[in-house]
Structure 1
Amino acid sequence: MFKNTEQHNKNDIELKGVPSESITQISWSPTANHLACSSWDGTINVWDPFSSVDMIGKYDFQSPILCNKWNGAGTQIFCGDCSNNVHVWDVVSNQTQLVGKHNAPVKCMFFTKELGSEILITGSWDKTIRYWDFRQQEAAAVVELPERLYTMDYSYPVLLAGCASNELIIYDLNEPTKEYKRFQSPLSRQIRTTSLFKERDGVFIGSIDGRCSVKYFEEKTKSKKTFQFKCHHQKNNVYPINEISVNPEYGTFSTCGGDGRFFFWCKISKSKLGSSCQFENPICCSQYNKDGNIFAYSIGYDWHQGSHIYKNSTKKVRLCLHEMESKELFKDK
């Protein structure tokens, strides 16, 4: 369905001082080109890749961290770990504080100022979404889910949760604890990642078998029909889609996978805008910066083959930056 294009990665920048274990999430500051990553080794690392300083800071939380997000001012980083804790790290003062706890590892989180005060939204394998208001110690609200939370995305006023049951649930944050809509994933295999359209009228869904669904919430016109396509397949081998990232400026999107490749796509023209070379290990996660002109991606072990395959000596962690070209950002008419 998608048209082929060329591959290139020789000019990408590789950052130094990466974690010792695979990176679980990349997040860019909303105020500057500062890059944070969380890792299975329990650390949060921060870079300023376009200055002579490079590495800004590092903090070790002593437990594998699955997610991280900046606050609105770009001065603090929130993170959720496998010990069920939600932390905040003040990058300027290098101080940390416990925000709250779940009853299982914390998988996803988002920070928002749109709900009348600063709120952190966290989702966990304990089958809940929790809203944390920093003016109080306990969660301001708890939303029960049908199954473990595997993926979540947020763009005000839409919050989307994807569960182990392959159900996707939409919440309208004007009524944050009330379920707005629920639907089954169009993909037959387990969902692994989701990302809302820039227009917030649909969602990209990635599965463990290298398929991506472009799902519109309301199919009102012929041009807004849900469709799906294969993207991380090689001959008879299929690989999981580990992350889907949406360009904040252009609305085009990327997929990165267990085959060690990433692709850029346009949902409107149904075309492939660009692709990477094949790296030596899976691409675990990715994210565009706030301007959509830099694409960060990490290479390491993504655990899709289980712990028995893992070997430290062959799973070198890498964190790279790719400067976007115009042909990778949008489709020329």
Structure 2
Amino acid sequence: MSYTKLAATGVLALLMSSGAVMADTWRYAFEEALEEVQGKFAQKFKEEVEANSDHSVQLFPFGTLGESDSILEQTQSGILQFVDQSPGFTGALIPEAQVFFVPYLLPQDEETLATFFEESKAINEMFPPLYAEQGLELLTMFPEGEVMMTTTEPVEGPADLNEVKFRVMTNPLLVESYQAFGATPTPLPWGEVYGALQTGIIQGQENPAFFIESTKMYEVTDHITRAGHNNFTTAVMANKEFYDGLSDEDRTVVDNAIDVAFDYIIDYQDGLTEESLEKIKEAKPSMTITTLTEEQRQPFMDTADSVEQEFLEIGGDQAQAILDQLKADLEAVSSQ
């Protein structure tokens, strides 16, 4: 067993042994550091819960309790009460959630995107029952920022990704998407990515700008490419049995805290992308940051239909209905 897993096991043993005397402490794990977007959301949620109830919220940033698959399992088993995790990792359990990896499906305008996540019938009505089947209460989904490629060589089109080993999350549709882009998708746990780039095992990865900056991915890559192909989506969930067992008063506290944290994190991200890119350029002046033109993006956009068809094949029983509703939701928001 690795040191990380041993440490996580020790922490969990302590939590479980103290559960009986800490019944009013809710445990919340997420995939990022405390000062990154998921951490900021979690801190606001904690603040709201503790201000409006007698409960306290204990936060566990990335690495505290293991990798993404570990914290999801701990939430399903009831060790954790809350978890924030991208559909990139829940896609194996909930194949319909892979829809968020169809390239060029989500709008690039941040205001439109925020409204979509807040009002989408697919997200707020169709997804919760699918999560419930896995012992999870879907509390909200929110965007974390435009996804950008970071690579060791410049990228201006799919040809530049030929034979490039590109790290992706362990998500079948994301693998399909980067195969369609021309790359060699390489699923890796996040904890291994920096070292793999440093040693040349892989030559690229994707993430929002704030995450590229905070995790110093620019140190082991030389080029950032803005192809406009996606926006990073994440989901906040609760253990279903825990949530259903809350009193009406406590459930209202949780729901209200989620709503406040959602509004907060949308405002927090205003200008965050450009600010993060400026920090990257300041830290590494040689880093190139390229926004592809519409003409340069078109070959990438041309792959969207094939990835969408793959989603319909592997995306579960409700794949077509989810995709149709998402498109209807997006059209409704755009028309506003």
TM-score, normalization by structure 1:
0.26
More strand by share: 1
More helix by share: 2
Tell me which structure has the larger Cα radius of gyration.
Answer: 2
Select the structure with the greater relative contact order (CA < 8 A; seq sep ≥ 6): 2
